[in-house]
Copies of this chain bind each other. A is one copy, B any other.
């Protein structure tokens, strides 16, 4: 059973966090999504935390969790903080494969998405 955990930074502004939860919800209903579960979690300022999100996936039966950083830049959060959290969580769940994926900003399709999006007025 394969889970996608969308990890965002987290905000004091609940509306921002809800956008991430809504993205997870949208993917949950997407027939293109090759995941049995899709959940959201936050690095800081909001809950569930990343360990809580992973554990929620595992409690629902996941034996593979893809941790997806919903971050545009490869800053310290992506290169250090999230990997360090996964290193802490993995020994507690040796039976589960916890994989860190590319962050959204690393997508080779991002430049095309910028062009598509920039034509729409706010």
Residues of A within 8 A of B (CB): 4, 6, 8, 11, 13, 15-16, 19-20, 23, 26-27, 30, 32-34, 66, 68-76, 78, 83, 99-107, 109-122
Report yes or no: B102 in contact with A16, Cβ–Cβ below 8 A.
no
Report yes or no: B20 in contact with A73, Cβ–Cβ below 8 A.
yes
Report yes or no: B117 in contact with A30, Cβ–Cβ below 8 A.
no
On chain B, the residues within 8 Å of A101 by CB distance are 117-122
For residue A86, give the distance in angstroms from its CB to the closest CB of chain B: 10
For residue A75, give the distance in angstroms from its CB to the closest CB of chain B: 5
Report yes or no: B106 in contact with A117, Cβ–Cβ below 8 A.
yes
**How far is B77's CA from A92's CA once the two chains are assembled, in angstroms?**
38
Report yes or no: B111 in contact with A73, Cβ–Cβ below 8 A.
no
For residue A3, give the distance in angstroms from its CB to the closest CB of chain B: 11
Report yes or no: A23 in contact with B110, Cβ–Cβ below 8 A.
yes
